[in-house]
């Protein structure tokens, strides 16, 4: 199942983007520069739609949902570890909000409303 999801993630992003498995069922996606947050959110929505497609399991079908945390450098400044922590925290917020969704790091939300 993880191989199928990994391939779907790779298919959902652009060629210069990078998909890597962190461990367990967690993946990191590094997007090459995006024009704006709208483009980032469009890519996130496309990824979630791609993941949600049924998976053939013999004669049955399985369904997978995704939860994504998003942080953007340099808007969310910090080192690599801090960026991963912010994305991880946002991902857990997405899971708490009902799964199959994405949440943008609070630091970015604070910047957007300021």
Give the Å distances, CA to CA, from 16 to 11, 19, 26, 44, 63.
12, 10, 20, 16, 28
Which residues are the active-site residues?
Answer: 25
Closest CA to 71 of 99, 43, 108: 108
Phi and psi of 55, rounded to 5°?
Answer: -115, 125
């Amino acid at each position: 199942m993880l191989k199928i999801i990994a391939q779907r993630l790779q298919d959902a992003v652009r060629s210069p983007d990078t998909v890597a498995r962190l461990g367990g069922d967690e993946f990191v996606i590094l997007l090459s520069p995006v024009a704006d947050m709208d483009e980032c959110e469009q890519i996130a929505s496309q990824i979630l739609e791609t993941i949600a497609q049924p998976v053939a399991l013999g004669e049955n079908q399985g369904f997978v949902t995704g939860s994504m945390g998003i942080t953007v450098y340099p808007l969310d400044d910090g080192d690599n570890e801090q960026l991963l922590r912010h994305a991880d925290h946002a991902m857990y917020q997405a899971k708490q909000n009902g799964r199959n969704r994405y949440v943008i790091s609070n630091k970015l939300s604070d910047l957007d409303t300021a």
